[in-house]
């Protein structure tokens, strides 16, 4: 008859059995404040637990940056790394409970730094969003306004003008919506030429932004 597995979690690669002296000591250290209401504490605890689960998906460079900035303590980083290795459902659940306890030890600045890092990973930075909008703006201008091609080539003389002209002609040949459709934000997005124009414009804008003496 097999022995029933001991319940517990991992800290820095070492197993901590529930009910052990070390477990009780860690729980005393991680015990929350009694000044807030039980409802508030539960809500805050659940939010931090969920944030800890999201940390498992944070890319390694971003995690390393948070650790270097002292926004993620080493113990939390190791607990996250250990949780990623665990495949057993119950074992992972217990480990994530421990991650949640560590999350509750963080101060507000650390929590906000983690949220910001996850937000950038999920939605992109403000600079990336602006670059995408600029690329969309130029693509639409090139397809709708004949004078836009000259404006673009004047701003980006290193562009292959023959390639860009050919792409514009092909995209227009693929079909443009009527003015009413355009005003409603509709535009064909499946044509290869349409997509290639966006890629060409985006690549040139990115190259310009990376130039040290470039200006917005």
* H or E element at residue 64: helix 60-68
Q: How many CA atoms lie within 13 A of 202 on its CB side?
A: 14
Please indicate, yes or no, whether residues 106 and 131 belong to a single structural domain of this protein: no
Split at pLDDT 50, 70, 90, the class of 78 is very high
Determine the structural domain holding residue 195 and report its residue range: 126-210
In this structure, of 38-47, 56-65, 156-165, the range with the lowest mean pLDDT score is 38-47
Split at pLDDT 50, 70, 90, the class of 180 is low
State pLDDT tens for residues 182-210. Answer: 555 555 455 788 888 988 998 888 776 55
Maximum alpha-carbon separation in the chain = 83
State pLDDT tens for residues 58-70. Answer: 888 889 888 888 8
In a domain, 216, yes or no: no
The domain boundary, picked from 73, 107, 123, lies at: 123
**Which residue reads 């290193």 in tokens?**
158
Q: What is the C-alpha separation between 177 and 163, in angstroms, rounded? A: 23
Please indicate, yes or no, whether residues 62 and 90 belong to a single structural domain of this protein: yes
Please indicate, yes or no, whether residues 153 and 110 belong to a single structural domain of this protein: no
The domain boundary, picked from 123, 143, 167, lies at: 123
* Whether residue 35 has pLDDT greater than 50: no
Report how far Cα 66 is from the mean position of its chain's Cα atoms.
14
In contact, 126 and 67? CB cutoff 8 Å? no
- What Rg value do the Cα atoms of the chain yield, rounded? 27
Kindly report each contact of residues 102-105 with a partner whose C-beta sits within 8 Å and lies 24 or more positions away, as own/partner: 102/30, 102/52, 102/73, 102/75, 102/76, 103/48, 103/49, 103/51, 103/52, 103/76, 104/30, 104/32, 104/44, 104/45, 104/48, 105/29, 105/30, 105/73
Q: Which two tokens stand for residue 182?
A: 């355009």
In a domain, 34, yes or no: yes
Q: What is the C-alpha separation between 153 and 146, in angstroms, rounded? A: 12
Full-model pTM:
0.45
State pLDDT tens for residues 99-140. Answer: 999 998 888 889 888 988 888 787 765 666 677 788 888 988
Q: What is the CATH number of the domain that holds 143?
A: 1.10.60.30
Please indicate, yes or no, whether residues 151 and 54 belong to a single structural domain of this protein: no
In a domain, 42, yes or no: yes
Among 120, 108, 89, smallest CA distance to 48 is for 108
Please indicate, yes or no, whether residues 137 and 91 belong to a single structural domain of this protein: no
Report how far Cα 12 is from the mean position of its chain's Cα atoms.
27
Task: Please state the domain count of the chain.
Answer: 2
């Amino acid at each position: 008859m097999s022995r029933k597995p001991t319940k517990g979690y991992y800290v820095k690669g070492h197993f901590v059995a529930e009910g052990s002296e070390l477990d009780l000591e860690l729980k005393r250290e991680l015990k929350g404040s009694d000044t807030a209401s039980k409802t508030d504490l539960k809500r805050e605890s659940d939010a931090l637990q969920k944030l800890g689960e999201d940390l498992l998906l944070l890319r390694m460079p971003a995690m390393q940056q948070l650790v270097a900035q002292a926004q993620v303590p080493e113990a939390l980083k190791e607990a996250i790394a250990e949780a990623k290795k665990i495949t057993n459902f119950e074992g992972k659940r217990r480990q994530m409970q421990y991650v949640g306890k560590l999350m509750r030890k963080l101060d507000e600045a650390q929590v906000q730094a983690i949220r910001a890092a996850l937000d950038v990973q999920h939605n992109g930075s403000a600079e990336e969003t602006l670059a995408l909008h600029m690329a969309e703006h130029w693509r639409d201008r090139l397809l709708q306004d004949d004078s836009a091609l000259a404006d673009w080539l004047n701003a980006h003389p290193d562009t292959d003008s023959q390639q860009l002209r050919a792409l514009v002609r092909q995209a227009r040949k693929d079909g443009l919506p009527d003015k009413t459709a355009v005003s409603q934000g509709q535009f064909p997005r499946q044509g290869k030429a349409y997509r290639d124009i966006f890629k060409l414009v985006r690549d040139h804008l990115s190259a310009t932004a990376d130039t040290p003496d470039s200006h917005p």
